[in-house]
């Protein structure tokens, strides 16, 4: 239980890291949306390890398969089932260390919760690999959102203590494309790269911060008091492994500001009501206010490190040390960027359909 998200545009995730596949079902997708395997593949490829420091040792082709819900190049209104087969799987290391939970991972909690029956290979359901299925759903959501002019971006704004400097939207759009760290600031990228390299050499890892921006979101998305735009975005984003914080607009910095500084004054621009600043991150009272939605997620440093760590043997109930062999990324932040983008898109899409902004049939 707990593997579905969204009220009308509902995604259901399934699959494991080292099982047959990872997949997603999208229920409630309007009929008539033109979408091809290639459209989805393109988004999934953004999540694949590129070259450079943030590359992973596991190389999967990640080929998207459409199982249902798309016919003659368009969605049919029926559940869309999308699949990626697992191929480059080596579970030998996981079997060896099965009873030695990796610090910072779900090994221990999953073992207890599921009575030891969970598929532990490669982290099973708790692997970052599951997020490939989120990206497939995001591809469909982004296509739907584009119909009403909504654009969702995401970029790396910090790796470790290195912060990217502020960039305007066009710089973000352009610079992120070919940046291996998905960062809009080329100078910070160099420093970030060094930091990752150092961590890697030390058998260690670093985290970072990803920012997502949604543009042209009309006023009115969000269903308070509980289904707020912030709340549902946060819930969706916390499904991404390693995310430990979510904030909107001025976020935690708002706590150090005065009300007079943090309030966004209203004004009229081109006949429309806008705010002069966007400390609210585009959300007031849990409802979009027409300004860009701005959300930042804190990604903890990858828990898989090469350094020896202290753990326990759950079977023998005694202390043990652990050296994780196999694959690990010194920094997963860049690969998480399209995942953050996808979860924002999926959530906005559900709200847009709930608000009646995206019709049930696309003509």
Question: Within 11-30, which residues bind a second copy (CB under 8 A)?
Answer: 12-16, 19-21, 23, 25, 27-28
Burial class (CB in 10 A: 0-12, 13-18, 19+), 177: exposed
Considering only 58, 105, 142, 167, the residue that binds a second copy (CB under 8 A) is: 105
8 three-state secondary structure: coil
Considering only 175, 193, 275, 342, the residue that binds a second copy (CB under 8 A) is: 275
Using rule CB under 8 A, residue 354 touches a second copy: yes
Q: Which residues ranging from 291 to 310 are in contact with a second copy (CB under 8 A)?
A: 298-305, 307, 309-310
Cβ proximity to a second copy: between 180 and 219 the closer is: 219
CA distance 58 to 61: 10
Stretch that binds a second copy, among 35-43, 44-52, 184-192, 286-294 (CB under 8 A): 286-294
Rounded to a whole number of angstroms, the minimum distance from the CB of residue 153 to a second copy is 20
Length of the chain: 363
Rounded to a whole number of angstroms, the minimum distance from the CB of residue 146 to a second copy is 18
80 three-state secondary structure: strand
Rounded to a whole number of angstroms, the minimum distance from the CB of residue 116 to a second copy is 8
Considering only 50, 241, 334, 338, the residue that binds a second copy (CB under 8 A) is: 241
Using rule CB under 8 A, residue 262 touches a second copy: yes
3-state secondary structure 262-299: HCCCEEEECCEEEECCCCCCCEECCEECCCCEEEEEEE
Q: Which residues ranging from 169 to 228 are in contact with a second copy (CB under 8 A)?
A: 199, 202-209, 219-220, 222-228
Q: Which residue has the tokens 């960062």?
A: 183
- CA–chain centroid gap for 193, Å, is 21
CA distance 280 to 261: 11
Neighbours of 145 (CB within 10 A): 25
Rounded to a whole number of angstroms, the minimum distance from the CB of residue 174 to a second copy is 25
Using rule CB under 8 A, residue 45 touches a second copy: no
Using rule CB under 8 A, residue 56 touches a second copy: no
Considering only 124, 128, 292, 334, the residue that binds a second copy (CB under 8 A) is: 124
CA distance 260 to 118: 52
């Amino acid at each position: 239980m707990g593997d579905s998200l969204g009220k009308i545009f509902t995604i259901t995730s399934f699959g494991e890291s080292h099982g047959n596949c990872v997949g997603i079902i999208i229920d409630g997708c309007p009929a008539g949306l033109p979408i091809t395997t290639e459209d989805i593949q393109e988004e999934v490829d953004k999540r694949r390890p590129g070259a450079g420091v943030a590359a992973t040792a596991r190389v999967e082709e990640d080929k998207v398969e459409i199982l249902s819900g798309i016919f003659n190049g368009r969605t049919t209104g029926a559940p869309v089932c999308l699949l990626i087969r697992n191929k480059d799987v080596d579970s030998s290391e996981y079997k060896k260390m099965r009873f030695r939970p990796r610090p910072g991972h779900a090994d221990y909690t999953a073992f207890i919760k599921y009575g030891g029956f969970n598929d532990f290979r490669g982290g099973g359901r708790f692997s970052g690999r599951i997020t490939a299925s989120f990206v497939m759903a995001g591809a469909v959501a982004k296509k739907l959102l584009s119909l009403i002019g909504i654009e969702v971006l995401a970029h790396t704004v910090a790796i470790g203590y290195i912060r990217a400097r502020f960039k305007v939207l066009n710089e973000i759009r352009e610079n992120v494309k070919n940046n291996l760290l998905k960062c809009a600031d080329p100078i910070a990228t160099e420093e970030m790269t060094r930091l990752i390299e150092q961590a890697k050499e030390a058998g260690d890892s670093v985290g970072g911060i990803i920012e997502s921006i949604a543009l042209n979101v009309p006023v009115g998305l969000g269903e308070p008091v509980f289904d707020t735009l912030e709340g549902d975005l946060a819930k969706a984003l916390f499904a991404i492994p390693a995310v430990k914080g979510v904030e909107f607009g001025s976020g935690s910095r708002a706590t150090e500001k005065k009300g007079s500084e943090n309030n966004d004054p209203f004004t009229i621009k081109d006949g429309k009501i806008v705010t002069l600043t966007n400390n609210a991150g585009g959300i007031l009272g849990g409802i979009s206010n027409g300004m860009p939605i701005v959300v930042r997620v804190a990604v903890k440093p990858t828990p898989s490190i090469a350094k020896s760590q202290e753990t326990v043997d759950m079977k023998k109930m005694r202390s043990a040390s652990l050296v994780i062999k196999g694959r690990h990324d010194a920094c997963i932040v860049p690969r998480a960027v399209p995942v953050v983008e996808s979860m924002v898109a999926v959530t906005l899409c559900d709200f847009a359909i709930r608000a009646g902004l995206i019709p049930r049939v696309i003509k």
